[in-house]
A and B are shown apart, each in its own frame.
Chain A
Amino acid sequence: MQPHAGADAPERAPLPTSATAPEGARPEARGPYAISTRGLVKSYPGPDGGVTPAVHGLDLDVHQGETFAFLGPNGAGKSTTISLLCALARPTAGTATVAGVDVLTHPGQVRRQVGMLFQHSALDMELTVQQNLRVHARLYGMSRRDAHRRTTETLDAIGLGDRRRAPVRTLSGGMRRRLELARGLLHEPRVLFLDEPTTGLDPHARAQVWDYLRQLRERQGTTLFITTHYLDEAENCDRLAIIDGGRLVAQGPPAALKAAIGNDRVVLRTHDDPAADRVVRRAAPPGTLTTPGPDGISLRLPDGSSWIPRLCAALAAEGIPVRAASATPPTLDDVFFHHTGRSIHTAGPKAAGEGL
């Protein structure tokens, strides 16, 4: 499987004459990680003559076979990171290995092992479904026979077998997305990058894409790296990283990230909130902060739902009936807010060069 170490070395040389690999060009042994970066930086020349960092010192580890979400608002550096990991752009500083191969020294080898679903559709609209896939297969060096076999296999798997002769421009948005997914998987990559895979799709098409991703993970163990700004999608993943302004602010399984910021949010509504506030503060563990709001008093408590009966009883004893009570576990939006001080839905692109 591992081709000759020198196979990609003359990538930028004018002619592939130097077939012998320089010493030390052999890729490192594959670690347990599908993706691993250290101090990854990508800066672009800024408008005022300075440099604008798009990605600012990223340390990222993605395990093999896991579904990893990369969560952040628009302009946070998600797409730039993907470009760096696919060797489409060269990092300004830092290192990255993908599928055990160094992105800087062996870009071609990395690209053979990764598949990509671009944020914006990248299909040839004039060609048919099948032709798009065949051209892709040949671009990835497959023999005609393999190209034919894989095209049929992936089209059947993705449920587009009966549309194989349809021109791509006649397909719906959801079908095009599925076709791109099939194309990204045609050459059997070890890591599949998905840049906002469901943006612009209706809920039904979104669910279809996710169904297929789940199947893929179960059957083939492909590592999935998904950028998204949908919280419910990030919730579905094994682990996630939150990026904001080009920096990683948190990394871990969704449950652990939520547990780290702690407690459930309990909200109680009464007809006399100020009075209720005093009672609740006495009944709750010492040091609990209560905040009055338009929906009632809210406070954070571990295992919030078991506290509701106790708080209601305490209020009833003081003659204050409770009209409504709820306990909500922390959401990823709470996690995002905790780390960035903003909600992901209100966070616009951060001002360029803020870190300087």
Chain B
Amino acid sequence: MTAPAVTAPGNPDGHAGPHPAPPSRLRRELRAVHALVHRDLLRLSLQRTHTALMLIQPVLYLFILGGGLAALIPTAALGVGYQLYLFPGMLMMTVQSPAIMVGIRLITDKQTGYLRELLMAPVSRATLLLGNCAGGTVVATVQGAVLLALAGAVGLPYDPLLLALLLTGMILASFTITALALALAVSLGRAELFHMLLGLVMMPLLFLSGGFFPLDNLPDWARGLAALNPLAYGVDLLRRSISLSVPHEATTVGIEWFGHQPPLLLEAGVLLTAGVLALLYATRRFSRPE
């Protein structure tokens, strides 16, 4: 009664008559996911100042740090100008903070009591987590897309294929980062702990992402850590997307597994798998009955 009813033509939805047939289970769960994504988008549009502030940091890095260092770093060292080199990293930086914020929201919802309202909803807890994850992915991608609009300023062409590739990469990275943040939120349960941990690991994660400087000059142990860094995979995906569609913009090698660069699709697959596993783990922890 669940899956087939949704695709069946003429399925009675709540649009006809005062007493329509009750919607199918799958449709109800999807509506709940939509409710949570909608809530995140509403908050995004209501907190304009907050959103603008979150965007300022990567823009400052891009034009002040990037502009300042561009003169010092010869194009030959990176294959491209430093600002263009910095761009994928800044896209990832823009995407990661709202994605993580939505993860933290699970904890703040618990503290404000709103989580009880969510748990009372007649949907499975997996649906609630999926909704949170989808919300984080959408909000992060929207913010990333705003920065993507500046592509021309660092010398990238507004090529539809390139923009589509970069957007896909950001969606994938946003999903995985949100899922990881949710898994962490479900296991930690306390906002202070979460913020402490984040303060501790955020800087190393950003530096080991390959967003600011190439990873191949780092010692082996640091490169090993980078191969475990989800942000590094995100940056690598975006950087390689750029070099795919703008072939003369040769870039440096990013992540390496045992000295070899993995294929682009395999990197994407690893990122996606990490996200799915994190979401499954979070769902399992979250669904434990009281």
Within 8 A of A (CB), among B1-39: 1-3, 13-15, 20, 22-23, 25-29, 31-32, 34-36, 38-39
Q: Render A298-342 as a binary contact track against B, CB cut-off 8 A, 1 for contact.
A: 000000000000000000000000000000000000000000000
Selecting from A27-35, A81-89, A288-296, the interface stretch reads: A81-89
Asked if A221 is at the interface (CB within 8 A of a chain B CB), the reply is no
Chain A residue contacts of B14, Cβ below 8 A: 142-143, 145-146
Asked if A14 is at the interface (CB within 8 A of a chain B CB), the reply is yes
Chain A residue contacts of B31, Cβ below 8 A: 138-139, 141-143
The CA of A235 and the CA of B126, in the complex, are separated in Å by 42
Query: What is the size, in residues, of chain A's interface with B at 8 Å between Cβ atoms?
Result: 44
Selecting from A117-125, A152-160, A269-277, the interface stretch reads: A117-125
Selecting from B115-123, B159-167, B225-233, B262-270, the interface stretch reads: B115-123
Q: Verify B126–A111 contact, CB threshold 8 A.
A: no
Asked if A108 is at the interface (CB within 8 A of a chain B CB), the reply is yes
Asked if A24 is at the interface (CB within 8 A of a chain B CB), the reply is no
Question: Which residue of chain B has the shortest Cβ distance to A42 in the bound complex?
Answer: B290
Take A108-B122, A139-B32, A145-B15 as given contacts and tell me if A124 and B39 are in contact as well, using a CB distance cutoff of 8 Å: yes
The CA of A19 and the CA of B5, in the complex, are separated in Å by 12
Distance in Å: Cβ of B17 to nearest Cβ of chain A: 12
Selecting from A2-10, A204-212, A254-262, A343-351, the interface stretch reads: A2-10
Chain B residue contacts of A116, Cβ below 8 A: 117, 120
The CA of A131 and the CA of B287, in the complex, are separated in Å by 27
Per DSSP, chain B at the interface is: helix
Query: What is the size, in residues, of chain B's interface with A at 8 Å between Cβ atoms?
Result: 42
Q: Verify B121–A111 contact, CB threshold 8 A.
A: yes
The CA of A44 and the CA of B182, in the complex, are separated in Å by 27
Question: Which residue of chain B has the shortest Cβ distance to A15 in the bound complex?
Answer: B126
Q: Verify A126–B1 contact, CB threshold 8 A.
A: no
Q: Verify A111–B122 contact, CB threshold 8 A.
A: yes
Take A122-B112, A138-B32, A143-B13 as given contacts and tell me if A88 and B290 are in contact as well, using a CB distance cutoff of 8 Å: yes
The CA of A108 and the CA of B29, in the complex, are separated in Å by 11
Q: Render B121-134 as a binary contact track against A, CB cut-off 8 A, 1 for contact.
A: 11110100000000
The CA of A100 and the CA of B22, in the complex, are separated in Å by 18
Asked if A250 is at the interface (CB within 8 A of a chain B CB), the reply is no
The CA of A145 and the CA of B117, in the complex, are separated in Å by 22
A binding-site residues for B, Cβ under 8 Å: 1, 3-4, 6-7, 11-12, 14, 16, 19, 83, 86, 88-90, 108-109, 111-112, 116, 118, 120-127, 131, 134-143, 145-146, 167, 183
A-B contact pairs, 22 of them (CB 8 A): A3-B25, A4-B1, A7-B1, A12-B124, A12-B287, A16-B3, A111-B121, A118-B113, A122-B112, A122-B113, A122-B114, A124-B39, A126-B43, A136-B117, A138-B31, A138-B34, A139-B118, A141-B27, A141-B28, A143-B15, A143-B20, A143-B31
B binding-site residues for A, Cβ under 8 Å: 1-3, 13-15, 20, 22-23, 25-29, 31-32, 34-36, 38-39, 42-43, 46-47, 112-114, 116-124, 126, 283, 287, 289-290
4 tightest A-B CB contacts, nearest first: A141-B28, A143-B14, A138-B35, A122-B113
